[in-house]
Structure 1
Amino acid sequence: MTDPVADWWGTAVSRIEPNRVELRGIPVQDLIGTIGFGAMIWLMLRGERPTDQQAHLLEAALVAGVDHGPHAPSIAVARMAATCGVGLNNAMASAINTLGDSHGGAGQECVLLLDEIRELEAAGSKLTDATDEVIAAWRERGIRYLPGFGHRFHTRDPRRDPLLELVDRAVTERIVEGGHLRAARAVEAALAPVPMNIDGATAVIYAELGFPAPLARGLFVLSRSVGILAHAWEETGQGRRNKGPIPPSVLPTYLG
């Protein structure tokens, strides 16, 4: 017989009782000092421990997305909020809340793009035909920039190659299957000379590791939170106040 009160927040993620803390069924004292943070993220999301190779690949993606400087809205907002005296928690929350569809959501969208290609492949289409069909469908929806490809700042994202090299190695070692990697490279070939960017490369990793598309965004949020914290903390220590988004010597264009 169920207890409607105890079932209110029923969860398999954690078990908390007096003198007892279990995470995914494992006593926390058995995890402290024995598991890395990337593997801990995997355990909490998936309910099982990753292999060392899976954890290494996940951590590589998380490391790659940590920071992209004040060019990124999330980092700029973190620094600006910190100068308003709101404290680290509010500065971080303000920055994280900017990670929406246009900034932070490309990884999730890229996984969905690659999933569509793989579905057509599974139905019997050739990879190139499936790629062309999906790209055309996305273009018809008015999507000008395909998520995960091209970059407004880099002609070639320096994070792309090392990430894809790790995926290539993981495919060779049969850690991942490689279908999403093949689909991403097919899109890149179709869009040439526009290269894959970090959102595309990390989308490949998350998808190859079996994370559904929404978690590609969630994992990016975890990754970028590290850079957000570092920038907010640095700005807090510089003692500046109300440092707005543009220097005071630059007046916004009046459109009236």
Structure 2
Amino acid sequence: MTTTPDSDNMQFPTSLGTSTPTEIRLLGQDLAQDLMGKVSFGELAFWLVAMRRPSAGELRVFESVLVALADHGFTPTAIAARLTYLSAPDSLQGAMAAGLLGGGSRFLGVTEDCAQFLAATLAEHTDDLPDTDEGWNKMALEAIRTQRATGKFVPGLGHPNHKDGDPRTPALIGIAAEEGLRGPHLCLFEAIGRMSKAALGRRLPLNGAGVCGAALADLGLPPDLLRGFALLARAAGLLGQIAEERRNPIANDIYMSVDRNAVYVSPDNQTAWESTRREDHG
């Protein structure tokens, strides 16, 4: 026998938003009177997750991260959004979603992956965190070697374009330092950059997505939620990409370029073709 829930006695607790016929409340505040025009979107985004208002310094670092991750040119996420808009111009949400779905281990997701890697390393040294660069270097070297021994890449190391250094990295570290928020995650991340050559045989740059993860973790935000902030930032960039696509379309050129240059290769010759292609591209 099934019973019908008594809706009058049901409760679904939330510390976020509620509404009545005359009022909307968010985070315990009157949305219209206490928040609109008084709280920035960045402050609200931080508050919604952390359940506390950020300090002025925390907000500066947080919003710097959002700016750093908003757009990075014709990345796969931007191309996916533009091509989806080409295919379905009646579905703006579909184009936005297509771009956001590409936020994974190589693009955007590194923000979360790096923060989790740093947090896990620091958790092993909670009682003996270094207070010198030499100490951080030793911890970083051990962390890199341990990660590589498992056959995994170190998240936050390397960038496909910025071979000699990602310009976002020193900028964000500098902002965090100015605000007194250069914490253990950033210190360890910087040491990983310093020790990459000793551990891997070649120096690799610290990328912007990784430094964003380190900075957000130093703000006390949960590492396993940080991909959400990267996606929040990229949503603004994707909307800009779609707006530009409407003004100056290139998606059809991308589609036609790939389609008109498609070459059939017999499965029997696939390996030889791939080898030749690698040689042609260095």
TM-score bucket (shorter structure): 0.7 to 0.9
Q: CA deviation at 1:55?
A: 0.9
Long gaps (5+) in structure 1? none
2:94 paired with 1:90: yes
Alignment partner of 2:59 out of 55, 59, 66: 55
The AA in structure 2 aligned to 1:141 is T
2:265 paired with 1:254: yes
Indicate how the Cα distance of structure 1 residues 254 and 244 shifts in structure 2: closer, same or farther if over 3 A, else same: farther
Partner-residue secondary structure (3-state), 1:69: coil
Alignment partner of 1:186 out of 191, 209, 220: 191
Q: CA deviation at 1:160?
A: 1.3
Q: CA deviation at 1:157?
A: 1.1
Alignment partner of 1:152 out of 127, 146, 160: 160
Q: Distance in 2 between matches of 1:206 and 1:89?
A: 28
Counterpart in the other structure of 1:107: 111
Counterpart in the other structure of 2:232: 222
Partner-residue secondary structure (3-state), 2:60: helix
Indicate how the Cα distance of structure 1 residues 216 and 252 shifts in structure 2: closer, same or farther if over 3 A, else same: farther
Higher relative contact order (CA 8 A, sep 6+): 1
Partner-residue secondary structure (3-state), 2:18: strand
- 1:54-97, CA deviations, whole angstroms, 9 ceiling, x for partnerless residues? 11110001001110111x11101011111112421110011111
**Residue pair 1:65, 1:223 contacting (<8 A) in 2 also:** yes
Which structure has the bigger radius of gyration?
2
2:33 paired with 1:25: no
**Residue pair 1:85, 1:241 contacting (<8 A) in 2 also:** no
The AA in structure 1 aligned to 2:210 is G
Q: Distance in 2 between matches of 1:129 and 1:113?
A: 16
Counterpart in the other structure of 2:38: 34
Partner-residue secondary structure (3-state), 1:134: helix
Q: CA deviation at 1:5?
A: 6.5
- Bigger Cα displacement from structure 2, 234-243 vs 152-161: 234-243
Partner-residue secondary structure (3-state), 1:135: helix
Partner-residue secondary structure (3-state), 1:12: coil
Q: Distance in 1 between matches of 2:35 and 2:226?
A: 25
Counterpart in the other structure of 2:211: 201
Counterpart in the other structure of 2:84: 81
Q: Distance in 1 between matches of 2:224 and 2:230?
A: 10
Q: Distance in 1 between matches of 2:10 and 2:253?
A: 48
Indicate how the Cα distance of structure 1 residues 236 and 177 shifts in structure 2: closer, same or farther if over 3 A, else same: closer
Measured on the aligned residues, the alpha-carbon RMSD in Å equals 2.3
Q: Distance in 2 between matches of 1:163 and 1:11?
A: 34
Counterpart in the other structure of 2:174: 165
**Residue pair 2:162, 2:205 contacting (<8 A) in 1 also:** no
- 1:87-121, CA deviations, whole angstroms, 9 ceiling, x for partnerless residues? 21110011111112332211111111211232233
**Residue pair 2:137, 2:194 contacting (<8 A) in 1 also:** no
The AA in structure 2 aligned to 1:129 is K
Report the TM-score when normalising by structure 2.
Answer: 0.80
- 1:222-245, CA deviations, whole angstroms, 9 ceiling, x for partnerless residues? 001111111112213446775555
Q: Distance in 2 between matches of 1:201 and 1:242?
A: 35
Q: CA deviation at 1:129?
A: 3.3
2:49 paired with 1:45: yes
- Bigger Cα displacement from structure 2, 96-105 vs 23-32: 96-105
Long gaps (5+) in structure 2? 1-5, 130-134, 198-202, 268-282
The sequence identity of aligned pairs, in percent, is 25
Indicate how the Cα distance of structure 1 residues 119 and 51 shifts in structure 2: closer, same or farther if over 3 A, else same: same
